[in-house]
Amino acid sequence: MSIVLIRVDDRLIHGQVAVGWTRFVGGTHIVVADDEVAKDNTQIMLLKMATPVGVKSTVLSVTEAARKLAGGKFAGDKVIVIVRGPQALLGLMEGGVPLGKVNVGNVRMQEGRRRLTKEVAASPEELQAWKKLDEAGVELEALWLPGGQATNLNEVIRAIE
C-alpha cells in the first residue's frame, strides 16, 4: 500500500475528488476516515456511489482507519485518504499513520470559524489542531484543484496569534 494523497475536504468524496484528484494521483482506493459518517449507512452508500468506477472506497472511523492504514491493510492499493478536518488528521497521526504532506482542499466558512484562505476556514479548536500538525512537521498545502495555485498553509497558521 502506498498513500498517494491525504486530503482534507469537508465534502469527502465528490466530483472534484472522484475525478480530478483520483486521476491526478492515480488513486485506486479511497479511504474516508470520519467518525460520524462511519456510523451512517446512508452516508456510506452515498459516498460509495460517488466513488469512480474501478476505484474502491472504504469508510471507517478515524481510529479504525489509522489502525488499518498503519498496519498495511490496503496492500497493493494506491490510497487516497480523505478527512473532514484537522482533528481527524491528528487522530490518524497519533494512530501511526505518517502524514508527511497534506492537501487541504475545502473546509467551508461557518459561524464560529475564521477564514484562513479562500477555501479553508477554521474554528478555534481546528486552528489549534492545525498548529499541532504544523509543530509536528506536517507539510500543509492548501490546494483546491490539481495543478492549481497552492498556498503554504503552515505559513498562514504560523502568522495567526
Residue 151, all three cell numbers? 498556498
Largest CA distance in the chain: 45
Confidence class for position 126, pLDDT limits 50, 70, 90: very high
Judge whether residue 12 has pLDDT over 80: yes
Residue 1 has pLDDT above 70, yes or no: no
Is the Cβ–Cβ distance between 32 and 57 less than 8 Å?
A: yes
Catalytic residue among 11, 14, 73, 78: 14
Query: What average pLDDT score do residues 108-136 get?
Result: 92
Judge whether 14 counts as a catalytic residue. Answer: yes
Find out whether 124 and 113 touch, Cβ atoms under 8 Å.
Answer: no
Q: List domains and CATH numbers for the chain.
A: 2-158 (3.40.35.10)
pLDDT of residue 19: 80
Please state, in angstroms and rounded to a whole number, the distance separating the CA atoms of residues 48 and 2. 21
The predicted-structure confidence for 51-60, as pLDDT tens digits, reads as follows 999 999 999 9
The whole-number pLDDT of residue 67 equals: 97
Three-state secondary-structure class, residue 97:
coil
Q: Tally Cβ neighbours within 10 Å of residue 42.
A: 8
Place of cell 492499493: 77
List of residues 6+ apart from 148 with CB closer than 8 A: none
